[in-house]
Structure formats: structure tokens, C-alpha cells
Amino acid sequence: MSYGDDPRPDRRRRVDPVRVWAGGVATALVAGGVAFVGILVLRALDGVSGLHKLAGQGADLDRTLVVVAAVVVALLATGLLHLLLLSTPRAHTFFAWIIGLVVLAVVVQALVAGDWYGSVLVAALYLIIGLAIGSLLTGVGRTAVTERPAPPPDQRQQPSPYRPEYRPGPDDQPTRRLPPS
């Protein structure tokens, strides 16, 4: 049986948090840009009633809300990816499933609200934003994990044979502490 993302027993996996979060911030900026451009495209199509259902107020609030939501979702997804990379054996598989299910839920939610034309366009925008976040963070996760060889068994750090009442002496032999006089 193969586990794909699992490190081999003779390898140690290391996650670079700086690379994860730098990629996450870059992904958030891209997601915000995709949302902004998507809103502009939908506004150019004019008469899309699905856009006005987001906040129930003016169009400027809708644009801001979608862009900010895309940025926040990308940062939350980065946190999820980092957590999965640190804790699960097949982090990329779990991340892909979680992102896929969340995107599907948001798209279905957008499809069932409002008129057909506006709902399809808004759902397409959400799908494109979700695909951008998912694909970019998957790539970030793959580059943030490095494997390095584990040290040979004779060089691995062994637990200390010394009990608390012993202290190593200058010749690395246990030296018994003398009780106070």
C-alpha cells in the first residue's frame, strides 16, 4: 500500500512556515484581484441581479465585500493548509477535498438564490475564485515541504541514561551528586 504524501521512514519531513504564509499572502492578493476583476466583468454585463443579493445595499459594498471575503478566505485556507501540513500524513489530499467541498457548497448556495442568469454568473465567479485559491495553495504546500534524510540509527539522539540525581562528569560518565552535609 502506498501513501503518496507520507514521508518514507528513512526521511524527515520539514514544513517551512515562512514559505507557507508568504505563498498564502500572495494567494490572498491574487484571490482579491480575481474577485475585483470578476465583479468588473459582471458589472459590464449589466443587469446582474445576483450581485445585489450579497449585502442588500449599494453596489460599492458588494464589490468591497466580495474582494475582502476572497482575501479572508484565502488566508483562512492558508491556515488550514499549514495545520494539515504539520499534522496529517496526506495533507495535500485532505486539503484538496476540504477546499473542493467548500467551493461546491458556495457555488450551490449561489445557484439556488436569485434569478437563473445572475445566479449562474455569480456562481461562476465564486468557482473561479475558489479554483484560484485551491490551485495556488496546493502548489505552495508542495513547495513548502522538504524531506531530508534521517540520521543513521547510530547517530540518532538517544534518550539520556542519566536519572535526575546523576549529572555527567567531565569524562561523560555519570557522577553521583553527594547529599548536602
Q: Is residue 18 part of a domain?
A: yes
Q: Which of 17-26, 97-106, 108-117, 127-136 has the lowest mean pLDDT?
A: 108-117
Q: Is residue 161 part of a domain?
A: no
Q: Is residue 170 part of a domain?
A: no
Q: Is residue 17 part of a domain?
A: yes
Q: What integer pLDDT is reported at residue 164 of this predicted model?
A: 54
Sheet strands (E) in the chain: 11-15, 145-149, 166-168, 174-176
Range of the domain at 138: 11-152
Q: Is residue 165 part of a domain?
A: no
State the pTM of this model: 0.71
* CA–CA distances in Å: residue 172 to residues 161, 165, 167, 168: 11, 15, 9, 5
Q: Is residue 171 part of a domain?
A: no
Alpha-carbon span 122 to 54, nearest angstrom: 10
Q: What integer pLDDT is reported at residue 134 of this predicted model?
A: 95
Q: Domain count for the chain, please give it.
A: 1
Interior CA angle at 179 toward 177 and 181, to 5°? Answer: 135
Average model confidence (pLDDT) across the chain: 79
| pLDDT of 180 above 60 | yes
Q: Which of 74-78, 117-121, 172-176 has the lowest mean pLDDT?
A: 172-176
Q: What integer pLDDT is reported at residue 120 of this predicted model?
A: 86
Better pLDDT: 56 or 162: 162
Alpha-carbon span 124 to 18, nearest angstrom: 32
Helix (H, G, I), strand (E, B) or coil at 167: strand
| pLDDT of 99 above 70 | yes
Under a CB-based contact definition with an 8 Å cutoff, are residues 141 and 81 in contact? yes
Under a CB-based contact definition with an 8 Å cutoff, are residues 126 and 55 in contact? no
Residue pLDDT, tens place only, 153-178 = 655 555 555 555 555 556 655 556 66
